[in-house]
Amino acid sequence: MSLLPFAILSNKSDLDGRCEIVGMIHRSVEYTVTAVAPGLWKWQFRIGDRIVSGKTEARLQLLAIRRVQLRIDRELKKATHE
């Protein structure tokens, strides 16, 4: 099993150096992670009709991605118990 099971469907960068990873998938949930400042990442995903979004602080892009994946896992677990 891979430590970071995700798929990147496309990757966009703009001129000021921000990088937006679009169409990442974790456990059949598509999500985005966007660098908004050095060490600050904005993320968003949808489970059913519910959109979950937030920000996380991380120096490394992969750490920010992993935190979003853990959040997805928590939300999926919560959805199965409801």
Could you state, in chain order, the average pLDDT of each consecutive group of 10 residues for the chain (82 residues)?
48 55 84 92 94 95 94 93 78
pLDDT at residue number 82: 75
pLDDT at residue number 15: 46
Flag whether 65 is in a domain.
yes
* Cα–Cα distance measured from residue 5 to residue 26, given in angstroms and rounded to the nearest whole number: 7
pLDDT at residue number 1: 37
Q: DSSP letter at 18? A: -
pLDDT at residue number 80: 85
Flag whether 2 is in a domain.
no
pTM for this predicted structure? 0.75
Contact 22, 11 (CB under 8 A): yes
As to burial, measured by CB atoms within 10 angstroms (0-12 exposed, 13-18 middle, 19+ buried), residue 82 is: exposed
Domain count, the chain: 1
Biggest CA pair distance of the chain: 44
Domain that holds residue 49: 10-81
**Which ranges of 1-82 would DSSP assign to H, the alpha helix?**
61-81
Flag whether 5 is in a domain.
no
Flag whether 3 is in a domain.
no
